[in-house]
Structure 1
Amino acid sequence: MKSAFLNGPLEEVVFVNQPPGFISKGNDDKKCSIMYMNSLYHNGGVLFICLCVDDLLITGSSSKGIKVLKSSLNDEFEMTELGILSFFLSLEFQYTEKGLFVHQRKYMLQILIKFNMLNCNTSETLAKMNLKMDHCENEATVDATLFRQIVRSLWYICHSRPKISFSVGMISKFMSNPRHSHMIAAKRILRYLRETLDFGIVFPHQDEKISSHLVVFSDSHWCGDVLDRKNTMWYVFMIVGASISSKKKKVVALSTCEVEYIAACHTACQALWISSLLLELDIESEDVIELLIDSKSTIDLTKNHVSHGRSKHIKTKYHVLRHQVAEGRIKLVHYKIEAQLANIMTKSLKMERSRELRKKIGIQNLKD
């Protein structure tokens, strides 16, 4: 769409203020962008419109319906046809024999050039094994503006490279007062991205009707943060062989059982929302959602409705997990810790283990 705004003449002067709290010193000229998604129905098929300012993405189950919709939009607005989806909001899309390959190679190259890391020594791991960082107050300070720019750029890459989320989250805690060790850790992530420049997420082809079996992995790291001793927990959602969502939360818990229980509750709530979203998108979804965790004590706790020393202090809101298990919407399945995919999100791993889990969550090399 060549113009994202109304084309009609205005007879009055219109003043628009930025939302309270949005304005920051030196950023008065920044603009807001709005992502809008809507669905339409055409002769039994479903069409989806994803709009971000003047970037318009149209998809759906009916090719004829898409053509009719584009024709209708052309009648009302001045549009530019860009063909089959290949680039959208810094995300690149390639159609391969394996399926749809989503990556950010162009954006990562821009970042590497911007921070003078294009010709750096590459790294096959994101961080040292069991690395834990503190404020490092005895070390020299570094350019805080440069550090923040690196971190913010890395966060956007997490959309197609969820594996780096743990490392990026670890260094982002020191944006206010970064030190030498923090900058070294940030540059190591850039070195890893240089090594894995051709990697991205593959969404495999489905020859038959889409099987929207939703598989969820939940994991936690008890007292994983050395600064506040909060527990780090992540969940990973897999559908048709590719990861579609990952998220980190931090809570305080007294035991590994408690933090796994809380993590499973947060994961279950997100799983129910994704299940309802699939239904809204007219994608058939199985009624029972499998939640894979590596804690047998957590599974036992959901089945034991008697409050005792291990659970009486857990907030009531987290016991919604018991209700969903009893209703049959969520099925807790014990999964060996060696096969737990969410492990890649909660701690730094050895190179071999990291490669194994990276492949399992759908991140592959386009050239393979």
Structure 2
Amino acid sequence: MRLLLFTGKGGVGKTTLAAATAARVADSGDKALVVSTDPAHSLADAFGARLGAEPSEVDRGLWAAHIDARALADKSWPALRAKARALFAGLGIEAIDAEELAVLPGVDDLLALSEVVRLAADGPWKAVVVDCGPTAETLRLLALPEAAAGYLGRFGELRKLAERMARLRSVLADPAVTGVRLVLTPERLVVAETRRTLTALALRGIAVDALIANRLVPKPRRWSGPAANWLKVRRSEQDAVLSELDLALPLHVVEHRSAEPVGLPALRALAEELYGSDDPLAAGAERAPLLAIAADGPDQLLTVAFPLTESAALDLARVGDDLVVTVDGVRRLIALPLMLRRHAVTDAEATATGLVVRFAPGDEEHP
């Protein structure tokens, strides 16, 4: 089973592209499920059908569902919250404080993602395609399993939930199972956000399979006149913006349509342009490991592999046996390999392959 997460800046067309991808998988004879975790009900609009929390068949081999994260939270969280509140109160925390501590931020998103994995495990799907919310919300959602597992694992009665979140994290971080498709439009601001998203996902160990550039101005064929000249100039500008991505990732291009692609025939035509003869479930190129160590004389060089832009706000700190990397407000604690724990950080440099940190031997503060 392949799990594909479609995300991007709001309004770039990720819902339509997710629906088209699922339709393409189903047309090949496999069973596909497309699920929306976006609070907007755009997926139902794309199919022109009503969708509920449980999968319903919208065409042969093609199923769809819309997860209401708020409803899940209202149903599932109160019992767990009561356990947490009782546990905190038993530790001597005042009732009002225990009530506040028992509210886990982002629990609705966490439950929505868990529900996606449940639906994926319970069905005969070759692929589960997820129409996620806008980029910022998706990044928060993808970070939750790791954060929640660390938080809940401190309390014995909540360890089962922590273990569930750890399993969820392992699914998301397995490139053989999960891939992210980043959808963008050919605009400089959107491309800049896409670069930041790639960095944030790499820090969290999430694989990006491909980029999809949507709504390009059609190339003028045999047209002439002012309109054709405008199209030619505008398309050249868009191609120039996309060329600035310069990333080792597949880039699919979809031209703007005169009518919104609604309904299965329009979605199938979109999928044909999007994938051609390519396999819509193909994984991206094999990623470099997040951490790599190389000797440089007596020193050791640790490379943390993630894309960096020239304008990225980068911060680095050593906390015990962890390296704390913060890029544009996204923070990741990286456990240092054992061989580096007696070493001290002496220098760091941002390179084309990521962050290179120099360690010198002899730091007795970290045995």
TM category (shorter chain) comes to under 0.3
Task: Between the two structures, name the one with larger relative contact order (CA 8 Å, sep ≥ 6).
Answer: 2
Superposition TM-score, scaled by structure 1 size: 0.26
Bigger strand fraction: 2
